[in-house]
A and B are shown apart, each in its own frame.
Chain A
Amino acid sequence: MADDDADDRQFFSEAISELKMENKFTVFKDGGELMDYLQHPETDLPHILFLDLNMPCKTGFDCLKEIRQTARFNDLSIAIYSTSSSEEDIENSFIGGANIYIKKPNDFVKLKKAIKDVVNINWQFHSSGMNMETFLFSI
């Protein structure tokens, strides 16, 4: 995940560790760090990326655009993780190529439930070979 807010990063990491998923989870402080990591040829690409929209230097939208222009990242699911619940932001994220839009919950239990639902639906899409082009999920 990439998020410039330290509290949000910690909140999210705790939720992930409490869900006891056997997945590798890596955190980045901004979009630049994230893109450097993804573009490194030896990086094992993740199944899913959680991306904050408002980050300094490289915003979530910038990362989204770069990722969606690279064929190597075609199978990568992108979840936008944002405080905004405006329909415009949701729609623009999807048009920009996001698969998932998560409105940041301020309650820990809700966050855990949201992550679980997202990981589950993402797994369904990948494991059942469903059409990634029309994979849109908002929570």
Chain B
Amino acid sequence: MKFYIKFDGIAACKVIVREHLDSLGIKYEMLSLGEIIINNKISDEDFNNLQKDLSKYSIEIVSNPKNQLIQRIKDTIVELVHEPDMPLTTISIYLAEKLNLSYGYISNVFSEYTYSSIENYFIIQKIERAKKLIIEEELTLTEISYKLNYSSVAHLSGQFKKTTGITPSMFKRIIERRRLTAKSN
């Protein structure tokens, strides 16, 4: 017996990709052909499995290596500010050592693709950490400034005010009152 098939390669490819994403329980959006946005975080293991499974169908995941580097820079900064004892190095030395690349290169790629600087991102993340420590662990500003390697409380307060436009005490008051209103509703 001999028969002929008629097929739509694009549609078939979409179905294959969809089935694999669904089976891994990944939430995604398929934009134009070949562009997929993953809505929640995907573990390295799942990503590798997806890559392996799709390669059987000659479907290759192409991701921009620069974007991957930026993600690694961001992750490294977030990890750094979450260290129980933040090491006393500068962000430039820390990143260069962790990523094994020159800081000049890292810094250029970051600025070029994010329209922001590493220093700026580092400050934002330190202030994010400070916010969390203020409301969740109820540490004093002195304790937080020590934990995040600020030279003084004044330095931390100043940077908090400069980054968010409000003082740490006003921040604390707002979050507390928000939670109270949420409870009473």
Enumerate chain A residues within 8 angstroms of B171, measured Cβ to Cβ: 134, 136
Known A131-B128, A134-B135, A137-B165: A120·B174 in contact at CB below 8 Å: no
Q: Give the docked Cα–Cα distance between A136 and B165 (Å).
A: 8
B interface residues, tally (CB under 8 Å): 21
From A2-10, A40-48, A94-102, give the one contacting chain B: A94-102
Q: Is the CB of B132 within 8 A of A91?
A: no
- Report the count of interface residues on A (CB-CB < 8 A): 20
B174 engages A97 (CB within 8 Å): no
Which residue of chain A is the closest to B74 with respect to CB atoms? A128
The minimal Cβ–Cβ distance linking A135 to chain B, given in whole angstroms, is 9
B128 near A130: Cβ-Cβ < 8 Å? yes
A70-98 CB mask vs B (1 if < 8 Å, else 0) is 00000000000000000100110011010
Chain B residues whose C-beta falls within 8 Å of the C-beta of A120 in the assembled complex: 115-116
Which A residues are within 8 Å of any B CB, using their own CB? 87, 90-91, 94-95, 97, 101, 120-121, 124, 128-131, 133-134, 136-139
B residues with a Cβ closer than 8 A to A are 41, 74, 115-116, 121, 124, 128, 131-132, 135, 164-166, 170-171, 173-175, 177-178, 181
Beyond contacts A95-B177, A138-B166: 4 other A-B pairs, Cβ-Cβ < 8 A, are: A91-B170, A95-B181, A133-B175, A137-B165
